[in-house]
Amino acid sequence: MEAMSRVVVLIQQGIDGLQMAYRALEELQAQEILSEKGRILIKPNITVHKPAPSGVTTHATVVEGVLRFLRDHRLGEEVIVGEGGGCDITQAFQELGFAQVAKRYGARLADFNREEGVEVRIPDPLVQEHFTLARTVTECDCLVNLPCLKIHGGESQATLCLKNLMGCLSRPRSFMHRNFNRRVIDLLRAVAHSELNLIDGLVGHERGEIHGTPMGMELLIASRDPVAADAVGAAVMGFEEGEVGHIALAGGMGLGQASLDEIELQGPAIERVRRPFRRARW
Count other C-beta atoms under 10 Å from residue 108's C-beta: 14
DSSP letter, residue 97: T
pLDDT tens readout for residues 46-86: 989 899 999 999 999 999 999 999 999 999 999 999 999 88
Residues 6+ apart with CB under 8 A from 4: 257, 262, 263, 264
Residues 6+ apart with CB under 8 A from 126: 182, 183, 185, 186
Q: What is the mean pLDDT of residues 150-161?
A: 94
pLDDT tens readout for residues 189-229: 999 788 999 999 999 999 999 899 999 999 999 999 999 99
Question: Hey, what long-range contacts does 261-265 have (CB within 8 A, 24 or more apart)?
Answer: 262/3, 262/4, 262/5, 263/4, 263/5, 263/6, 263/7, 263/228, 263/231, 263/232, 264/4, 264/5, 264/6, 264/7, 265/6, 265/7, 265/9, 265/232
Domain regions of the chain by residue span: 5-273
Q: Which of 78, 77, 63, 263 is nearest to 146 (CA)?
A: 63
What per-residue confidence (pLDDT) applies to 192? Answer: 77
Residues 215 and 55: their CA atoms lie apart, in Å, by 7
Residue 164 has pLDDT above 90, yes or no: yes
What per-residue confidence (pLDDT) applies to 1? Answer: 46
Q: φ, ψ for residue 143 (rounded to 5)? A: -115, 125
The pTM of this model reads: 0.96
Q: Which of 66, 58, 6, 50 is nearest to 202 (CA)?
A: 58
What average pLDDT does the chain have?
Answer: 95
* pLDDT confidence bin for 282, thresholds 50/70/90: low
Residue 237 has pLDDT above 70, yes or no: yes
Residue 278 has pLDDT above 60, yes or no: yes
**5-273: which CATH number, 3.30.70, 3.40.1350, 1.10.10, 3.40.50?**
3.40.50
Count other C-beta atoms under 10 Å from residue 87's C-beta: 15
* pLDDT confidence bin for 20, thresholds 50/70/90: very high
% residues pLDDT > 70 (the chain):
99
Q: Which of 142, 163, 186 is nearest to 33 (CA)?
A: 142
Residues 85 and 47: their CA atoms lie apart, in Å, by 5
Residue 29 has pLDDT above 80, yes or no: yes
Strand partners, 10: 220
pLDDT tens readout for residues 105-118: 999 999 999 999 99
